[in-house]
């Protein structure tokens, strides 16, 4: 919305610093902490190959003798010390968490992107066109909203898995998962965008654009879309937390990502198996990471909702 082109760059930064949202961010310690934690985990996941002390997926770097090393204690055979211990195959738990968070975040971001694009497109069309397209889409949305989204993601995943030839099931699992989680969560975007579009389309600037003969697609994307992005951003942030939890849940149930690419949920499932033999660290650290990630993204979303809502100021 803000026109910054053609002005000195410093000015744009200064203006962003002075904006309402930035002010509200600086004055909300919880949001600052949440942002810090999320960015830390995201950066750690992105740069995992450079940060991680070991590559947990390269068998050549693993030593089975290192298996079941407790955190911060030297291994009884090799004397190696691991911050967060190792699992049964001698994989460093810290490294598996970094790589796991990478997969969790990838699935989360892609699922949100998919849901967002789908929801925005359908919402724009429904709101702008109205008529039977609108009532059909909103009826579908109503029905879908009566099902919990995690159940839908599970059902879509199961059905989609059935349709894929067995040879490709493992390779496609991550993409099927993304589509399943995305499809279970597009309704929120569609409803918000539809409502905002209906309000915007009767305003004068849209009518002016229509009068000069602009193509409907151009009106929707260039004029209406920027004005409905605020609430979409809020839904997307909270949606990311939900998508990460959905992915973790499905992977925990053993129907999500393949075991060759363990996400945080898979790591928790693996860790649960070692609870009874006393290796608590294999379960605890991935759980804490998942929780910290989901919680901080969620808090960030809550803050953004309040910050972007002028009625709450």
Partner 1 sequence: MLTVYAADAGSDMLAFILRRLVQSVIVMLTVALVAFALFRFVGDPIASMVGQETTLAERAELRDALGLNDPFVVQFGKFVARASTGDFGISYRLQQPVMELILSRLPATLELALVSGVLAFVFGVGFGVYTALRRGNWLSGTIMTASLIGVSLPTFLIGVLLIWVFAVELQWLPSFGRGEVVQVGNWWRTGLLTESGRASLILPAITLGLYQMTLIMRLVRAEMLEVLRTDYIKFARARGLSNRAVHFGHALKNTLVPVITITGLQLGSIIAFSIITETVFQWPGVGALFINSVRFVDVPVMAAYLMLIALVFVVINLVVDLLYYAVDPRLRVDRANARH
- Contacts with partner 1, residue ranges (CB under 8 A): 139, 143, 146-148, 150-151, 154-155, 157-159, 161-163, 166, 245, 248-249, 252-255, 265, 268, 272, 275-276, 280, 283, 287, 290-291, 294-295, 298
**Shortest Å, Cβ 255 to partner 1:** 5
In whole angstroms, what is the distance from residue 86 CA to residue 88 CA? 7
Minimum separation from the CB atom of position 258 to partner 1 (A):
12
Q: Minimal CA–CA distance to 300: which of 248, 234, 231?
A: 234
CB of 211 to partner 1, least distance (A): 31
Residue among 123 and 265 whose Cβ is closer to partner 1 = 265
Of 161 and 305, CB closest to partner 1: 161
Closest CB 22 distance from partner 1, rounded Å: 26
Closest to 198 (Cα-Cα) out of 132, 118, 128, 131: 128
Q: What distances in angstroms separate CA 151 from CA 121, 158, 229, 249, 282, one per listed residue?
A: 24, 11, 28, 11, 28
Distance CA 124, CA 208 (A): 18
Closest approach of partner 1 to the CB of residue 262, in Å: 15
What are the Cα distances from residue 67, in Å, to 71, 82, 88, 262?
12, 11, 5, 18
What's the min distance (Å) between Cβ of 49 and partner 1? 28
- Which pair of structure tokens corresponds to residue 87? 């699992």
The gap from C-alpha 189 to its chain's centroid, in whole angstroms, comes to: 15
Comparing CB distances to partner 1, the nearer of 34 and 62 is 34
Phi and psi angles of residue 129, each rounded to the nearest 5 degrees, phi first: -80, -40
Nearer to partner 1, 50 or 276 (CB): 276
In the complex, least distance from residue 148 CB atom to partner 1, rounded to whole angstroms: 4
Give which of 228, 206, 242, 249 is closest to 119, Cα–Cα.
228
Nearer of residues 49 and 254 to partner 1, judged by Cβ: 254
| Residue (230 or 256) nearer to partner 1, CB | 256
Which CB atom, from 237 or from 298, has the smaller least distance to partner 1?
298
- DSSP letters, 60-121, are GG--GGGTTPPTTSB-TTT--B-TT-B-TT--BHHHHHHHHHHHHHHHHHHHHHHHHHHHHH
């Amino acid at each position: 919305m803000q026109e910054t082109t053609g002005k000195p760059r410093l000015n744009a930064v200064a203006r962003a610093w002075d904006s309402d949202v930035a002010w509200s961010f600086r004055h909300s310690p919880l949001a600052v902490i949440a942002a810090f934690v999320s960015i830390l985990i995201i950066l750690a996941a992105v740069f995992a190959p450079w940060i991680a002390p070991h590559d947990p997926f390269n068998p050549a770097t693993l030593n089975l003798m290192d298996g079941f090393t407790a955190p911060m204690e030297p291994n009884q055979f090799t004397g190696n010390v691991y911050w967060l211990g190792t699992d049964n195959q001698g994989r460093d738990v810290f490294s598996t968490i970094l790589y796991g968070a990478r997969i969790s975040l990838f699935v989360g971001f892609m699922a949100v992107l998919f849901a967002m694009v789908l929801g925005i497109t359908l919402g724009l069309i429904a709101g702008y066109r109205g008529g039977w397209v609108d009532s059909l889409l909103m009826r579908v949305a109503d029905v879908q909203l009566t099902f919990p989204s995690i159940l839908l993601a599970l059902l879509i995943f199961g059905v989609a898995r059935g349709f894929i030839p067995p040879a490709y099931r493992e390779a496609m699992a991550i993409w099927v998962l993304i589509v399943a989680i995305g499809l279970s969560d597009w309704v929120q975007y569609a409803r918000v965008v539809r409502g905002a579009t209906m309000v915007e389309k009767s305003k004068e600037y849209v009518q002016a654009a229509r009068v000069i003969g602009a193509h409907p697609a151009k009106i929707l994307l260039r004029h209406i879309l920027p004005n409905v992005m605020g609430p979409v951003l809020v839904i997307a942030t909270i949606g990311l937390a939900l998508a990460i939890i959905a992915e973790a849940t499905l992977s925990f149930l053993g129907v999500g990502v393949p075991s060759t690419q363990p996400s945080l949920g898979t790591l928790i499932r693996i860790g649960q198996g070692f609870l009874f033999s006393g290796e608590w660290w294999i379960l605890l650290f991935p759980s804490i990471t998942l929780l910290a990630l989901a919680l901080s993204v969620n808090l960030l979303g809550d803050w953004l909702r309040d910050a972007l809502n002028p009625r709450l100021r």
